[in-house]
Structure 1
Amino acid sequence: MKKKVYITIAILALVVIVAIGKAFISALSGMGNPTGGRGPDYPYFYTTQPTVVKKIIVPKGTKLTYEEHFFKKGHQNNMMNEEKLTSIKLPEGKTIDWGGVPVFMILKFYNPEMQGYTVYPDFNQLKNHKKTKFSQLWQNCNNELGVLIKNADDWTFSTKNISDITDCGVNYQRYYKENKEQQQFLDELYKELKKVK
Structure 2
Amino acid sequence: MKFITCLSVVSLLFLSGCVGSMNPTGGNSRPNYPYYITQQPMLVKKIHVPTGTTLVYEKHHFKQGEQAQIMSENKLTDIRLPIGQTINWGGVPVTMISQFFNSSMRGYSVYADFKKLDVNKRTRFSQLWQSCDDDLGISIKDRKDWSFNKANIADVQSCSGLYQRYFKNDEEQQRFLDSIYSELMKINDQ
Question: TM-score, normalization: structure 2?
Answer: 0.87
Alpha-carbon distance in 2 for matches of 1:15, 1:62: 45
State the one-letter code of the partner of 1:145. L
Shift of 1:191: 0.6
Indicate the residue corresponding to 2:115 in structure 1: 124
Shift of 1:20: 8.3
Query: Identity percentage over the alignment?
Result: 50
Indicate the residue corresponding to 1:167 in structure 2: 158
Alpha-carbon distance in 2 for matches of 1:109, 1:43: 18
Q: Are 1:57 and 2:40 matched, yes or no?
A: no
1:79-121, Cα deviation, whole Å (9 max, x unpaired)? 1111111110000000000000000000011212210000000
Indicate the residue corresponding to 1:105 in structure 2: 96
Alpha-carbon distance in 2 for matches of 1:113, 1:14: 47
Q: Which one of 141, 161, 165 corresponds to residue 150 of structure 1?
A: 141
Alpha-carbon distance in 2 for matches of 1:72, 1:15: 31
The 1:14/1:71 distance shift into structure 2, 3 A limit, reads closer
Shift of 1:12: 7.9
Greater shift after overlay, 64-73 or 187-196? Answer: 64-73
Alpha-carbon distance in 2 for matches of 1:76, 1:148: 29
Q: Are 1:67 and 2:23 matched, yes or no?
A: no
Q: CA RMSD in A?
A: 2.5
**Highest relative contact order (Cα 8 Å, sep 6+), 1 or 2?**
2
1:143-174, Cα deviation, whole Å (9 max, x unpaired)? 10000001111111111110001110011111
User: Matched residue of 2:148: which SS?
Assistant: coil
Q: Which one of 20, 35, 38 corresponds to residue 47 of structure 1?
A: 38
State the one-letter code of the partner of 2:153. I
Higher Cα Rg, which structure: 1
Indicate the residue corresponding to 2:185 in structure 1: 194
Shift of 1:39: 3.9
Q: Are 1:177 and 2:168 matched, yes or no?
A: yes
State the one-letter code of the partner of 1:170. G
1:14-68, Cα deviation, whole Å (9 max, x unpaired)? 47754786699789x73xxxxx345432111000111110111100000001112
Q: Which runs of 5+ in 2 are unaligned?
A: none
Q: Which one of 130, 136, 145 corresponds to residue 127 of structure 2?
A: 136
Question: TM-score, normalization: structure 1?
Answer: 0.84
Alpha-carbon distance in 2 for matches of 1:14, 1:167: 54
Question: How many residues matched?
Answer: 186
